[in-house]
Chains A and B, each alone.
Chain A
Amino acid sequence: DTGVSQDPRHKITKRGQNVTFRCDPISEHNRLYWYRQTLGQGPEFLTYFQNEAQLEKSRLLSDRFSAERPKGSFSTLEIQRTEQGDSAMYLCASSFPPSTANTGELFFGEGSRLTVL
């Protein structure tokens, strides 16, 4: 396994268009996370899955954002009717579920950079 992969790495779109990002996690990991990061800031939590179940979604996430992980493997993050404020790096990470025996450290992909014109 080569790690977490994200596609596309860069996306430029016009305001109002829809965009979709894909994340392929490390195959043994059943947790998958999405974060958003703007310039000079730390990653901001968006949502996470355990297998195919979406367990938490940030209140910062508007109804224009939706994430899926249909078979508990890859995940997609869709942004509808994009706005300039959506411009950011979208980071995907995967891990084993944290427990007393497992630290649950996150393994990140290289991110998908979105620019909304």
Chain B
Amino acid sequence: SQQGEEDPQALSIQEGENATMNCSYKTSINNLQWYRQNSGRGLVHLILIRSNEREKHSGRLRVTLDTSKKSSSLLITASRAADTASYFCALRNTGFQKLVFGTGTRLLVSP
């Protein structure tokens, strides 16, 4: 399967704590992207990491990629209640074709 598998499926933390989500996959990729989805809404692109990159930062987001282990992680630092959402990794294969989404991590940040 080209789909990414995310872990954990659900995560509950307090405001101010860090949240880490992981994505594992099986195929060769060109890039890996992370998206956020608020309940009942469309998805919003957060950050992208290319296969030749190991780490990227954007604001409170840090994403890592280990192509040897075929895994990526998304870290949200100093979480806020507004970060409550579902987070999905998405894989772009080496043929630049469709983007395949993972199963998602549902994050709940309590005030």
B45 within 8 A of A: yes
CA distance A113 to B33 in the complex (A): 25
Flag if A33 contacts B98 (CB, 8 Å). yes
A-B contacts, 26 listed (Cβ < 8 Å): A35-B101, A40-B104, A42-B101, A42-B104, A43-B43, A44-B101, A45-B101, A55-B97, A56-B97, A91-B42, A91-B43, A93-B42, A93-B43, A98-B92, A103-B33, A104-B92, A104-B96, A105-B33, A105-B45, A105-B48, A106-B45, A107-B45, A108-B44, A111-B40, A111-B42, A113-B40
Other A-B pairs, 11, CB within 8 Å; known A33-B99, A55-B97, A99-B96:
A40-B104, A43-B43, A91-B43, A93-B43, A98-B96, A103-B48, A104-B92, A104-B96, A106-B35, A106-B43, A111-B40
Q: In A35-53, which residues have CB < 8 Å from any B CB?
A: 35, 40-45, 48
For B102, give the chain A residue with the smallest CB separation: A42
CA distance A99 to B95 in the complex (A): 9
Flag if A48 contacts B33 (CB, 8 Å). no
For B2, give the chain A residue with the smallest CB separation: A45
Chain A contacts for B44, CB-based, 8 A: 108
B100 within 8 A of A: yes
CA distance A1 to B36 in the complex (A): 22
B46-70 interface mask toward A, CB cutoff 8 Å, 1 = contact, 0 = none? 0010000000000000000000000
CA distance A91 to B43 in the complex (A): 9
Q: Which of B3, B42, B97, B99 contacts A110 (CB 8 A)?
A: B42
Flag if B98 contacts A42 (CB, 8 Å). no
CA distance A41 to B106 in the complex (A): 10
B71-111 interface mask toward A, CB cutoff 8 Å, 1 = contact, 0 = none? 00000000000000000101010001111111110000000
